[in-house]
């Protein structure tokens, strides 16, 4: 059964009070698909944003942060774009679905279109929000307006990877103007994807050096990692064969002295159990 579209206004008791900080720019309405109760979560919401052209490192970190916050009871807000946004949403979905996607289109129009299944999963397990009327298509001016809503909803904004000029940095600018806390994940100094985040750290942004740093900024703690007892003996062996910096499947197979095809099967099982991350570059890494 398809979820029904709910319309919220500032007069609705479910309306997030934090949007009042936008003053005259506060939206007059929001359309919602999913669990509206997430808007009132305690201790608040965290936004995880970043570039569409993310590296495997950035996607892995965004996934880990999304999962950790959702598992700790903090809903994750992002814009459902490719790259960092999608990775943060998916990490939160793995932890039970505490994630909110704010769209620049109508709430019933997945954008990008390749994220139809992600849109459906968030609508089912989390919440999709949009200011525009249902059915509205994407247009450039809609995304900065979308960003102001993400910034206002969040108590904390974390940027994982972002060039100097990007939607993520626009969200940071809006968040700073609203008095929200802003943090960033450091990246390589020669990576264009980290130029904006590294600049932000040099300009007073809080450093996210690991998952625990990020959770501490919201006053929550990490949940205990699943025990190795939930793994088959061969899975534990293959997991041990994945070096901390990641490796390609053939390297893992060599470390475990297994045929490449067999190592690939066990790595797929470990991915389904949330123990490893298969990056877009084909490298396998342990989840943070």
Give the pairing of strands 6-8 and 181-184: unpaired
Residue 278 three-state SS:
strand
Give the pairing of strands 76-78 and 99-103: parallel
Instruction: Give CA torsion, residues 131, 135, 137, 142, to 10 deg.
Output: -10
Q: Is the bond preceding residue 43 a cis peptide, omega within 30 degrees?
A: yes
The answer for residues whose C-beta is within 8 angstroms of residue 155's C-beta and 6 or more apart is 18, 43, 44, 45, 46, 180, 181, 218
Per-residue pLDDT of the chain (288 residues; tens, 9 = 90+): 567 899 999 999 999 999 999 999 999 999 999 999 999 999 999 999 999 999 989 998 999 999 999 999 999 999 999 999 999 999 999 898 899 999 999 999 999 999 999 999 999 999 999 999 999 999 989 999 999 999 999 999 999 999 999 999 999 999 999 999 999 999 999 999 999 999 999 999 999 999 999 999 999 988 766 566 578 888 888 988 988 778 899 999 899 998 988 888 888 888 877 788 777 677 888 876
- Assign a CATH topology to domain 6-217: Rossmann fold (3.40.50)
State how far the Cα of 284 lies from the Cα of 123, in Å rounded to an integer: 29
**pTM (2 decimals)?**
0.84
Domain boundaries, the chain: 6-217, 228-286
Q: Is 89 exposed, middle or buried (0-12, 13-18, 19+ CB in 10 A)?
A: buried
State how far the Cα of 236 lies from the Cα of 74, in Å rounded to an integer: 30
Q: How many residues does the chain have?
A: 288
Q: What does CATH list as the number for 228-286?
A: 1.10.10.10
State how far the Cα of 44 lies from the Cα of 246, in Å rounded to an integer: 34
């Amino acid at each position: 059964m398809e979820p029904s579209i709910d319309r919220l206004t500032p007069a609705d008791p479910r309306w997030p009070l934090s949007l009042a900080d936008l003053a005259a720019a506060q939206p007059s309405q929001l359309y919602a698909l999913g669990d509206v109760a997430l808007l009132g979560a305690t201790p608040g919401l965290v936004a995880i944003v970043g570039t569409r052209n993310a590296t495997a490192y950035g996607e892995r970190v965004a996934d880990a942060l999304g999962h950790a916050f959702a598992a700790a009871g903090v809903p994750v807000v992002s814009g459902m774009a490719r790259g960092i946004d999608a990775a943060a949403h998916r990490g939160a979905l793995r932890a039970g679905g505490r994630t909110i996607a704010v769209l620049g289109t109508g709430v019933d129009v997945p954008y990008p279109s390749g994220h139809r299944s992600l849109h459906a999963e968030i609508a089912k397990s989390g919440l999709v929000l949009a200011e525009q009327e249902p059915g509205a298509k994407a247009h450039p001016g809609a995304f900065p307006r979308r960003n102001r809503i993400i910034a206002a909803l969040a108590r904390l904004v974390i940027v994982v990877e972002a060039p100097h000029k990007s939607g993520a940095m626009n969200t940071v600018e809006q968040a700073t103007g609203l008095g929200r806390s802003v943090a960033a994940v450091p990246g390589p100094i020669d990576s264009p994807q980290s130029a904006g985040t590294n600049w932000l750290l040099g300009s007073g942004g809080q450093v996210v050096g690991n998952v625990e740093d990020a959770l501490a900024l919201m006053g929550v703690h990490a949940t205990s990692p699943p025990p190795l007892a939930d793994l088959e003996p061969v899975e534990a062996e293959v997991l041990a064969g994945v070096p901390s910096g990641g490796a390609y499947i053939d390297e893992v197979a060599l470390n475990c002295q297994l045929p490449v095809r067999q190592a690939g099967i066990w790595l797929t099982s470990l991915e389904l159990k949330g123990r490893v991350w298969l990056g877009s570059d084909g490298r396998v890494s342990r989840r943070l």
